[in-house]
């Protein structure tokens, strides 16, 4: 079956998720202007739409439930879930060399980044959505190759461990290795979604492909390869 044929069988509908965030206690910071709030809402809505489409967003499961699901998996297997901390929206749970752990994903003014023990934290790269962040750091635990290798991986080499059986070493961190997502059984990727991932993996300009507009729109709805 051709790539076009697979994609045209069914175009997955967009899923909209409402996510409630505890505003927390009053603080002395000036209130956001309406335009900032609208940009935040748009950014957050886009991120959750991407996460719902990915198949490896597990929603409101707890850190212990995520740990149980990752225990028998290979190192680098990961999932994204809602954070139990009221100041964060989502967290990344990943199987490490020492066992499953979780790291919070921070958000501010249209940007997402991972919590880290790195002294370079103020300079860590940020991303417009969570899936872009995850895609960037897949394989980041591998050694950099060559003198021109990016320093971004080393900046994110050490994450704050949580809910894992780590050796009792004070202030120790964990090397981040993301290899493969853990899909929810009920959202295992469809054939057309797998085709979309393959196309996105093999071209940087899917909008230039000779495909009908509905199929180009389908590619645009999830511009990632994980």
> What CATH number does residue 57 fall under?
3.30.505.10
Whether 220 and 162 share a structural domain: no
Whether 118 and 205 share a structural domain: no
Note whether residue 160 is domain-resident.
yes
Note whether residue 64 is domain-resident.
yes
Whether 167 and 222 share a structural domain: no
**Structural domain range at position 179:** 33-143+151-184
Hey, CA dihedral for 34, 91, 106, 42, is it positive or negative?
negative
Identify the pLDDT of residue 177: 83
Note whether residue 8 is domain-resident.
no
In whole angstroms, give the CA distance from residue 30 to residue 89.
22
The edge-to-edge listing of strands for the beta sheet with 180-181 is: 111-114, 99-108, 90-96, 77-82, 180-181
Integer CA distances (angstroms), 14 to 49, 137, 205, in order: 7, 26, 22
Best CA proximity match to 191, nearest among 34, 19, 45, 7: 7
Q: Which residue has the higher pLDDT, 17 or 105?
A: 105
Confidence of residue 188 (pLDDT cuts 50, 70, 90): confident
* Range in 6-20, 85-99, 154-168, 174-188 the model is least confident about: 6-20
Per-residue pLDDT, averaged over 57-78, amounts to 96
3 state DSSP class of 99: strand
Whether 155 and 210 share a structural domain: no
Whether 162 and 225 share a structural domain: no
Best CA proximity match to 117, nearest among 58, 44, 172, 179: 172
Q: Which residue has the higher pLDDT, 162 or 146?
A: 162
Q: Read off the pTM.
A: 0.72
Note whether residue 53 is domain-resident.
yes
Instruction: Tell me the CATH number at 204.
Output: 1.10.750.20
Whether 128 and 200 share a structural domain: no
Whether 159 and 216 share a structural domain: no
Judged against a pLDDT cut of 70, whether residue 166 lies above it is answered with no
Counted domains in the chain: 2
Q: Which residues contact 184 (CB under 8 A, 6 or more apart)?
A: 55, 56, 57, 58
Whether 80 and 56 share a structural domain: yes
Whether 155 and 57 share a structural domain: yes
Whether 125 and 215 share a structural domain: no
Q: What's the token pair of residue 54?
A: 């990915």
Best CA proximity match to 66, nearest among 226, 173, 146, 181: 181
Best CA proximity match to 75, nearest among 182, 192, 170: 182
Which residues on adjacent β-strands are paired with residue 99?
96
Note whether residue 3 is domain-resident.
no
Whether 113 and 157 share a structural domain: yes
Whether 92 and 172 share a structural domain: yes
């Amino acid at each position: 079956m051709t790539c076009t044929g697979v994609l045209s069988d069914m175009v997955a509908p967009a899923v909209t998720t409402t996510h409630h965030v505890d505003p927390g206690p009053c603080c002395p910071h000036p209130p956001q202007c309406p335009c900032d709030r609208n940009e935040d809402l748009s950014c957050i809505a886009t991120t959750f739409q991407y996460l719902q489409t990915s198949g490896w967003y597990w929603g409101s499961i707890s850190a212990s439930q995520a740990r149980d699901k990752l225990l028998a998996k290979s190192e680098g297997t990961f999932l994204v879930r809602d954070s139990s901390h009221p100041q964060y929206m989502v967290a990344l749970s990943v199987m490490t060399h020492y066992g499953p752990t979780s790291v919070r994903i921070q958000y501010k003014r249209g940007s997402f980044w991972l919590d880290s023990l790195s002294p370079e934290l103020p300079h860590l790269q940020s991303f417009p959505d969570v899936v872009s962040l995850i895609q960037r750091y897949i394989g980041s635990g591998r050694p950099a190759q060559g003198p021109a290798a990016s320093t971004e991986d080393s900046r994110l080499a050490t994450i704050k461990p949580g809910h894992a059986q780590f050796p009792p070493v004070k202030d120790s961190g964990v090397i981040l290795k993301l290899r493969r997502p853990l899909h929810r059984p009920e959202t295992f990727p469809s054939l057309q979604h797998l085709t979309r991932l393959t196309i996105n993996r093999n071209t940087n300009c899917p909008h230039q492909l000779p495909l009908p507009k509905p199929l180009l729109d389908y590619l645009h709805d999830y511009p990632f390869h994980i």
